[in-house]
A and B are shown apart, each in its own frame.
Chain A
Amino acid sequence: MLSAFETERTAWYGHAVTVERDSDGDLLRRIAGGGPGAAPAEGVLCRRFAPRIRLYGLRHLRSPDRARDLTQSVLLGLLEAARSGRIREPDHVDRFVLGTCRHFVQRMKHADHRTLPLPEDEISRVTGVVEPRPFDTAALLRCLSALEQRAQRVVLLSYTEDLAADEIARRLETTAGNVRVLRHRALASLRRCLEGGGA
């Protein structure tokens, strides 16, 4: 016979397995309903949107730390809105998340602050879902070394010196369009190299 704790745990995992395949709208309805499926639904919603929010942060804030802060703040706002049923279009929660990202990024840019401190009990829910996989630096260096000369130069100028395509084009005496083509081909090549073990 199962103890009360085991019964509760089994029910939680049962819900966790079920909600993993739920649509965004179904997740929001579970959360707003507040039943036993609400907590696992919150976890799935956070895992689903955290990488997308982080991407937005990397693009607009240009810092992994600030992108992490943004992710936590937006997820917290999302959970609060979901619990209180304030999201008007549950099947288009992506629009709510994008709007919230834009709002927070504006605040972060103008005030040049990070984000509001999160309540302790929420931190564990919205952290741990945003960390990217660690990178194999040795493999990256090997793959970078294997790039063709011009492609290597474009990659390093783009990402270690943060130069725009126009400026790189001026330095390499080519066009910005050509720089962009070299850059996306070089990154694709690096990806293939890394997936092949960095040989």
Chain B
Amino acid sequence: MSAELHAEWADLVDYLAGELDAGREDALEAHLMACERCAAEAEHVASLTEGIRSLLPPLASGRTLEALRRRGLRIEETELLPGSDRKAVLGPHLDVLVLRLRGVDPAAVSATFTMRTIDTGDVVLQLHDVPIDPASGSVLLLCSPHYASLSTSPDVVARVTTRDGAGAEAVSEYTIRHVFQE
């Protein structure tokens, strides 16, 4: 790649994901080291991907949760039944609080998760096709203490909407009041 030709966004994304072949990777690395404009563009990609990585998976499968435990993260778990209203206490004593949202149809073919603030109804997070733990019929919501930096209200309603094979919809709601300790 010459200095006059600039890197494509798609190549920068593949590069940082480690999915360029060796020849293209070598050429792109030499170019990035010499080209201020492309290095700045690659920084945008890195900033985004590092930002997403830092979120942890907001909803996780049991397997992912085990992988996080193996990474040495300090994890606590608590269960919430549909209709419950609970405090979720986060602080420097742990890295992740797992809220096991029970009462979800384990045979559902799809599940959507939505979290809204209680005071304004604003959507904080909406994820589709979320993993359901088939053994316990639950969705694992991962809360991180760094969410304390969010400017939104800490009191939220989490809703899991499932659809079964016949297309019938079921909704479970959980009220969660986050408490962030110093």
Task: Say how far B29's CB is from chain A's closest CB, in angstroms.
Answer: 6
Interface band, chain B? 35 or more
Which residues in A have their C-beta under 8 angstroms from that of B78?
none
Which residues in B have their C-beta under 8 angstroms from that of A83?
none
C-alpha gap A132/B53 in the complex (Å)? 14
* In the complex, number of A-B residue pairs with CB atoms less than 8 Å apart: 125
> Using an 8 Å CB-CB cutoff, how does the interface string of A125-149 with B read, 1 for contact, 0 for none?
0000000110101101110110001
Task: Say how far A49's CB is from chain B's closest CB, in angstroms.
Answer: 8
Is A64 located at the chain interface by the 8 A CB criterion? yes
Q: Which of A25-33, A112-120, A180-188 contacts its partner?
A: A180-188
C-alpha gap A138/B153 in the complex (Å)? 11
Chain B facing A: main interface SS: helix
Chain A facing B: main interface SS: helix
Is A39 located at the chain interface by the 8 A CB criterion? no
Is B89 located at the chain interface by the 8 A CB criterion? no
On A, residues with C-beta under 8 Å from B are: 48-49, 51-52, 54-56, 58-59, 64, 92, 94-95, 97-98, 101, 132-133, 135, 137-138, 140-142, 144-145, 149, 152-153, 155-156, 158-161, 164-165, 180-181, 183-184, 187-188, 190-191, 194
On B, residues with C-beta under 8 Å from A are: 9-10, 13-19, 29-30, 32-34, 36, 39-40, 42-58, 64, 123-129, 146-147, 149-152
26 A-B Cβ contacts within 8 A? A48-B36, A52-B33, A54-B46, A55-B32, A55-B42, A55-B43, A55-B46, A58-B16, A92-B34, A98-B33, A132-B43, A137-B55, A137-B149, A137-B150, A138-B152, A144-B125, A145-B123, A149-B128, A152-B127, A153-B129, A156-B52, A156-B57, A159-B53, A164-B18, A180-B14, A187-B49
